[in-house]
Structure 1
Amino acid sequence: MLGLPSTTEVDRVLPKRAFYEHLQLDPATRRSFVDDIESITLRNSIKPSTTGIPAGDVVQEVLVLEVALKGATVPKAALAAIARSNPHRLLFACTRDGRACLAVLLGSLVVGQWQDAGELALRLDPTGMDQTWDLMASQVAYGDEGRAGETVEERHATDEKIERLKERLAKVEARHRKEKQFARRNRLFDEENKLREEIRRLMEGGAK
């Protein structure tokens, strides 16, 4: 699966019940395991003994789980709960009707685009397991091979911060347009400029 080495193949079905009966889940997420997921299969175990890639300082193993879906809905909350409960890094391959999309947890769950399942392939980095995870997750989340000097988690955290700042900026701009009082308009204008500068700084830092 995903063009990964045959030495990493496991192909073991994991009972859904083992997840939703033993994890602390809200009712909607628990229901999602039943309503949205057909089956969960451990497809690959990527680690030093199956790849020859040295263990990392942070990552020792990456597990690839195929999640066969009943419908078109990707059960994000259920997948995030599974990932948070596991000490290893998880990469999900959601499949339905010969198509697949990949997902990884990077603070929040990031889901890639649907493609023909046979077209999906991921590269590994022989340098180490930390680098392998970074490369795999970058391919899923960004469609690239990552950024030098920045882990995929750091990159995603920066992106999320930029989005929060943009949302805050939009609210401040809306208040500025409605405000009639001169001094308050000036304060809001200053706040807008500070937010724009912070967004610019973060975006330029990530582009390096």
Structure 2
Amino acid sequence: MIDLPETTSVYKRMPKELFYKYLNDDCISKKTFIDEIGSIIWINTLSSETTTTPEGKHVTEIAIVEIVLNRQAISHNILEIVNREIDQYAVFIVRYEEWGQVWCCDHQSLNLQTGQFNCQNYYQTNWMIAEDLMLKIDGGNLDQVYENFFMQIAGKPLPAKVDSNHKQTDEPIVKVEQSGKNEELEQLVATIKNLESQMEKEMLFGKQVKLATDLKNAKDELQQIKRSQTTHIEIQQPEIVAAQEDPAETVRSFFPNVYMKMQCKFSHYFGLV
């Protein structure tokens, strides 16, 4: 359950008409906006005044906005429209009936002339029972609070911020490649932790198998990167396409007890025992 301090409560309903000025031929149509959105409510504002957390270098406020849907789907364009009106760092709680997701954006660039953020990608949690959605305030300042929100939602660190008004300095290619690999390692480690956490909470067997497969692939990729960093040899090798793993093998690897029960049932059914 998302339980934020009472001092951060705003609960300000934002009329849908407020966003119509952003609807044009290059964006989403007014009809789609009306069909998808039931209501938009600004429910919390995290700032140095509403919390005991000081402002960060980049983040001075974080808006928590609830979007109630008329169907279980939302377009990125809608989040872009709402974010444009809010014009600050925001976390979106998206709800449909008893289901919910949490969304946020990686604000990778800041236009100092307009003061607006240019969002490149949106990330979200899986659909789950709305009451099970979690968002924990953690950090010494609001920069760190938003970074931790992003980690909780995306399962990986927030990408480094790039100032679009300054050019990046030239550095040795080897150092840039090594930095990229280190960042990829950090993202994979965070992804693995997130998948392990989801597996502990997931009750549906089918989803457990899917999570287990994703987890194994992430761990394999992590080992490959570590091996490449150890050897420091960059030789072009023909790409080897790995054979798709048998789902039964995945079940046996991660759920041996379930696998044994399945084997017993099949053997009994076909008269093998």
TM-score band, normalised by shorter chain: 0.5 to 0.7
Do 1:62 and 1:91's aligned partners in 2 also have CA atoms closer than 8 Å? yes
Q: Which residue of 1 aligns with 2:256?
A: none
Q: Which residue of 2 aligns with 1:23?
A: 22
**Does residue 40 of the first structure (1) align with residue 53 of the second (2)?**
no
Determine the C-alpha separation between the residues in 2 that align with 1:102 and 1:32: 21
Determine the C-alpha separation between the residues in 2 that align with 1:29 and 1:93: 22
% identity of equivalent residues = 24
| DSSP-derived class of the 2:50 partner | helix
Q: Which residue of 2 aligns with 1:116?
A: 129
Across the two proteins, how many residue pairs are aligned to each other? 158
**Counterpart residue identity of residue 15, structure 1:** P
Bigger relative contact order, structure 1 or 2 (CA pairs below 8 A, ≥6 apart): 1
Residue pairs, 1:151-166, within 5 angstroms: 152-154=158-160
Shift in alpha-carbon separation, 1:141–1:205, aligned structure 2, 3 A? closer
Determine the C-alpha separation between the residues in 2 that align with 1:53 and 1:124: 10
| DSSP-derived class of the 2:150 partner | helix
| DSSP-derived class of the 1:51 partner | coil
Determine the C-alpha separation between the residues in 1 that align with 2:179 and 2:60: 34
Shift in alpha-carbon separation, 1:29–1:103, aligned structure 2, 3 A? farther
Deviating beyond 4 angstroms after TM superposition, the runs of 4 or more aligned structure 1 residues are: none
Determine the C-alpha separation between the residues in 2 that align with 1:16 and 1:32: 12
Q: Which residue of 1 aligns with 2:252?
A: none
TM-superposed CA distance for 1:118, in Å, is 1.0
Cα deviation code 1:20-58 (max 9, x no counterpart) = 2x2254353433321100000011111111111001111
Determine the C-alpha separation between the residues in 2 that align with 1:128 and 1:100: 27
Gaps of 5+ in 1: 147-151, 156-197
Determine the C-alpha separation between the residues in 1 that align with 2:17 and 2:154: 29
Gaps of 5+ in 2: 107-119, 162-176, 187-273
Cα deviation code 1:87-109 (max 9, x no counterpart) = 31011111011111011122222
| DSSP-derived class of the 2:79 partner | helix
Residue pairs, 1:68-107, within 5 angstroms: 68-106=68-106, 107=120
Q: Which residue of 2 aligns with 1:132?
A: 145
Residue pairs, 1:45-60, within 5 angstroms: 45-60=45-60
| DSSP-derived class of the 1:137 partner | helix
Cα deviation code 1:65-122 (max 9, x no counterpart) = 1000000111221112222443310111110111110111222222221111111121
| DSSP-derived class of the 2:58 partner | coil
